[in-house]
Structure 1
Amino acid sequence: MTLARTFKNHSRTFATLAVGVAAGAVVAGGGLALADTSAPTSDKQITNMTDEVNQIKAYYGDTVDANGEHWASSSSNYAIQVYGIEAKAEKYLAQKIKHDHSGRRAIVLDVDDTALSTYNYELETTFVYNAASNAQYIATKNFPAVFGMNDLANWAKAQGYTVFYITGRPESQRADTVRQLSSQGFPDADDAHLFLKNKANPPAYLSNCATPTTWTCSTVDYKSGTRAHLEALGYTITANFGDQFSDLNGGYSEQTYKLPNPMYFLP
């Protein structure tokens, strides 16, 4: 049974949620990222944070286990929206691979909130990123797969695609990231297919914005530069999946798929 058949009943359209404080949104990495420079002139223009969090919990179908851990529900509006995106991606990937059996086609997945869901961590920290707590969580716990993404990745692998992962996580989290991806059954979850930010020893293909003493790469610079490197190795990136537009911008992919994430914004 294909993913498209599995997800065919999940075709509802949902309004996009946006977490914001005035004109800003909470950013993984600290602080607020302002969507524009205008300041509200009245409190009535600002969404109440308690109401905003409750909306996010409802969208993800928040459930609490016996240990007080929060998890998203597979029947939530979030999950249904993700299933619909995956079904479209599967159809596209099937068409592309049909007449190309070169073994050089690939898909690229971001990790956090594309391959793996950070919902539980975000709830624990009330959507305020802290590098130390995030590193501790990654080192000691496994994030669950974003609904259906491990199935889609395995299906793509079976069709002949190579699966690569490009994440903004630091190089120091390589082993834990491989462990987390492997725990959820993702294919190609190994060092050869995983790219992380290595600011201390950046790769030569990022020399336009990174040296061993200076890192000026934006997220778009880093991720598009890494995709360009994969293309230079002979791969055609058929589809690129991310929960942030900065995961997708910059080219070097035939198609992009934006997964929903109302919890934070990364420029």
Structure 2
Amino acid sequence: MHALRWRTRAASTLAAVAFTMATTVASATASAASTPHPIKAVAGQSVPVAQQASTADAQALGVDYRTWQRDVAAVVAVARPYIEQRTSNPSGEKQAIVLDIDNTSLETDFHYFWEFPTPAVKPVLDLARFADSRGVDVFFVTARPGIIYSLTEYNLEKAGYPVSGLHVRSLPDLFDEVSDYKTGKRAEIEAKGYTIIANIGNKASDLTGGHAEKTFKLPDYDGQLS
């Protein structure tokens, strides 16, 4: 079910972006830069149309944006001291962390595809930058199809992430279970001499299969987030 869920909405809209926005990234970026995060209306104040759309999208998923941010921050608050401790004496070890993308690194389900680039999940962005500052390479392993590799890489870098490597699904990968595909990619990273000290995602399929010293699961609210 998880493989199908990158999914009816996210995959189709982002694939459409790959064709319709490939030559207009700069203008899309300028437009999106002025789009704030979704917030709830405050009594006596109006909410811009773009914010209303994002807020409505989040509400349609049954997930409150602020609650989600709080729950993500709680997980990151556990991950950060672990990474700090684990990187305190690397002794020449090549260390890496692996991140999922949708609703782990980027706020995918809280923004429509025309709000491009999708904003970063701020607590995770801060964690990735912290790990990078400690000499840790940051890899992304996503179930997104290869057709949007370039847009995904652009989005991550524009959002401020250090990107040591990005793995997307090629055509043969589409026939594998997401968990098997992601496990295989982590094994490939290890084969390059890395020790994956942390693997972070919001689905069980992001985290099962080993090839990481420690896993951290962000909320998906029983599958309500992709």
Query: Please, what TM-score do these two structures have when normalized by structure 1?
Result: 0.61
Q: How many residues are matched?
A: 182
Aligned pair in 2 of structure 1 residues 114, 86: CA closer, same or farther (>3 Å)? same
Please tell me whether the aligned partners of residues 101 and 160 of structure 1 are also in contact (alpha carbons under 8 angstroms).
Answer: no
Give CA-to-partner distance per residue, 1:133-178, whole Å, 9 cap, x none: xxxx27x711111131111101100001000000100111011101
* Match for residue 240 of structure 1 among 191, 194, 199: 199
Pairwise CA distance, 1:62: 4.7
1:163 aligns with 2:138: yes
* Match for residue 216 of structure 1 among 175, 190, 194: 175
Pairwise CA distance, 1:98: 1.1
Paired residue type of 2:217: K
C-alpha separation in 1, matches of 2:110 and 2:71:
19
Pairwise CA distance, 1:103: 5.1
SS in 1 for 2:49: coil
C-alpha separation in 1, matches of 2:105 and 2:200:
9
1:69 aligns with 2:47: no
Please tell me whether the aligned partners of residues 109 and 115 of structure 1 are also in contact (alpha carbons under 8 angstroms).
Answer: yes
Aligned to 1:80: 70
Give CA-to-partner distance per residue, 1:116-144, whole Å, 9 cap, x none: 011334xx6xxxxxxxxxxxx27x71111
SS in 1 for 2:220: coil
* Match for residue 146 of structure 1 among 90, 110, 121: 121
Give CA-to-partner distance per residue, 1:182-237, whole Å, 9 cap, x none: 1210012xxx60000011xx5xxxxxxx6xxxx53100110000001111111000
Aligned to 1:194: 166
Give CA-to-partner distance per residue, 1:52-101, whole Å, 9 cap, x none: xxxxxxxx9656533333257x9822212111111110111111111114
C-alpha separation in 2, matches of 1:101 and 1:75:
41
Query: Please, what TM-score do these two structures have when normalized by structure 2?
Result: 0.71
Give CA-to-partner distance per residue, 1:34-69, whole Å, 9 cap, x none: xxxxxxxxxxxxxxxxxxxxxxxxxx9656533333
1:185 aligns with 2:160: yes
1:119 aligns with 2:109: yes
1:257 aligns with 2:219: no
C-alpha separation in 1, matches of 2:192 and 2:76:
27
1:96 aligns with 2:71: no
Paired residue type of 1:195: H
Paired residue type of 1:83: A
* Match for residue 109 of structure 1 among 90, 99, 103: 99
C-alpha separation in 2, matches of 1:176 and 1:95:
34
**Structure showing greater Rg:** 1
Structure 1: runs of 5+ lacking an equivalent: 1-25, 32-59, 125-136, 203-209
C-alpha separation in 2, matches of 1:242 and 1:172:
22
C-alpha separation in 2, matches of 1:114 and 1:62:
22
| Percent identical | 33
C-alpha separation in 2, matches of 1:172 and 1:94:
36
Please tell me whether the aligned partners of residues 110 and 243 of structure 1 are also in contact (alpha carbons under 8 angstroms).
Answer: yes
Aligned pair in 2 of structure 1 residues 81, 265: CA closer, same or farther (>3 Å)? closer
Higher fraction of helix:
2
C-alpha separation in 2, matches of 1:229 and 1:236:
11
C-alpha separation in 2, matches of 1:238 and 1:89:
10
